[in-house]
Amino acid sequence: MILIIKHIDIEGAGTLEDFLADGTRDVSLVNVSAGQRLPDTLAGVEALVCLGGPMNVYEEEKYPFLTGEDILLKDALARRIPVLGICLGAQLLAKACGAKVTKAGVRETGWSKVSLTAEGKNDRLFQGLTGEVNVFEWHEDTFEVPGGGVLLAEGAACRNQAFRVGDSAYGIQFHIEVTPEMIESWIKHYTKDGQPSRAAAREMLREARVNNNEFYRQAQKMYLNFAGMIGA
């Protein structure tokens, strides 16, 4: 069974949920923002996916479920269960490994490109992708690469974009699961202090529609690569 942790309604699994809907594996989605409880154990869990959210990893008092999720991530690492942490999920994975998570020098929102490192080009998760990957970003925090971890992708504005710990625990700062509809929803809910501007938001949505087919194919490759690690 694949366990997916959802932190807020508007940040669902997107195209990942579509990928997993083929019925080849059981999927359990826990929406902690709706009051659903995290499991006490990962017994029977083959892979753990932690999605994004607007909260920060250091806001445990405000969001008590973050403490429980930290325990589950540490358990997943100990059991060598494949992990995919997206945005907040990546920051939570880094924290579970003892790495610092802090405010980034710049708040990244919108489309950008990240470059795979030498290790990233040879990593199983990014197999089949080129050295430069088109990504969608929406975050204000960043993580250090955990001790013993491997940096897989770098960005110009925010350096640490993807890392691996062990054989199959991955944190990716960017969003691979988004659809144009999700992006439109985020613009409506998350725009603050005039950022992104109306013009930037329009361009963001235009690019989402233009990029959608290529972005979808890219995400499918990563999903297939990650699925190949489950039960391996």
- Over residues 46-73, the pLDDT tens digits come to 999 999 999 999 999 999 999 999 999 9
Instruction: Count up the domains in the chain and report the number.
Output: 1
Helix, strand, coil percentages in the chain from 3-state DSSP, rounded to 5 = 35, 30, 40
What local confidence, expressed as pLDDT, does residue 67 receive?
Answer: 96
- Out of 69, 137, 139, 175, which one is annotated catalytic? 175
Q: Is residue 22 part of a domain?
A: yes
Mean pLDDT over 90-109 rounds to 95
Q: What is the CATH number of the domain that holds 111?
A: 3.40.50.880
The DSSP result for 73-107, as a single string, is: HHHHHHHT--EEEETHHHHHHHHHTT--EEEEEEE
- Active-site residue, 177 included: yes
Q: Is residue 175 part of a domain?
A: yes
Instruction: Give the range of the structural domain holding residue 151, as residue numbers without chain letter.
Output: 2-227
What local confidence, expressed as pLDDT, does residue 44 receive?
Answer: 92
227 Rama sector, left if φ>0, alpha if ψ -120 to 50, beta otherwise: alpha
Tokens 């040879």 label which residue?
Answer: 122
Residue 232 reports pLDDT greater than 90: no
Q: How many CB atoms lie within 10 A of CB 21?
A: 10
Residue 94 reports pLDDT greater than 80: yes
- Out of 50, 87, 97, 158, which one is annotated catalytic? 87
Kindly state the tokens that stand for 11.
């940040």
What local confidence, expressed as pLDDT, does residue 96 receive?
Answer: 98
The CA dihedral of 96, 71, 182, 125, to the nearest 10 degrees, is 50
- Out of 11, 69, 137, 177, which one is annotated catalytic? 177
Amino acid (1-letter code) at residue 218: Q
| pTM exceeding the 0.85 threshold for the entire prediction | yes
- Over residues 178-220, the pLDDT tens digits come to 999 999 999 998 887 667 888 888 998 999 999 889 999 999 9
Q: Is residue 30 part of a domain?
A: yes
Tokens 């235009």 label which residue?
Answer: 206
Q: Is residue 152 part of a domain?
A: yes
Q: Is residue 107 part of a domain?
A: yes
Mean pLDDT over 119-134 rounds to 95
Mean pLDDT over 22-31 rounds to 89
- Active-site residue, 139 included: no
Q: How far apart are CA 86 and CA 49, in angstroms?
A: 8
Residue 2 reports pLDDT greater than 80: yes
Phi (first) and psi of residue 172, to 5 degrees: -125, 125
Q: How far apart are CA 153 and CA 162, in angstroms?
A: 5
Q: How far apart are CA 161 and CA 116, in angstroms?
A: 9
What local confidence, expressed as pLDDT, does residue 10 receive?
Answer: 94
What local confidence, expressed as pLDDT, does residue 211 receive?
Answer: 87
- Active-site residue, 175 included: yes
What local confidence, expressed as pLDDT, does residue 193 receive?
Answer: 66
Let me know: does 80 contact 47? Beta carbons within 8 Å: no
Q: Is residue 232 part of a domain?
A: no
Let me know: does 83 contact 38? Beta carbons within 8 Å: no
Q: How far apart are CA 131 and CA 117, in angstroms?
A: 8
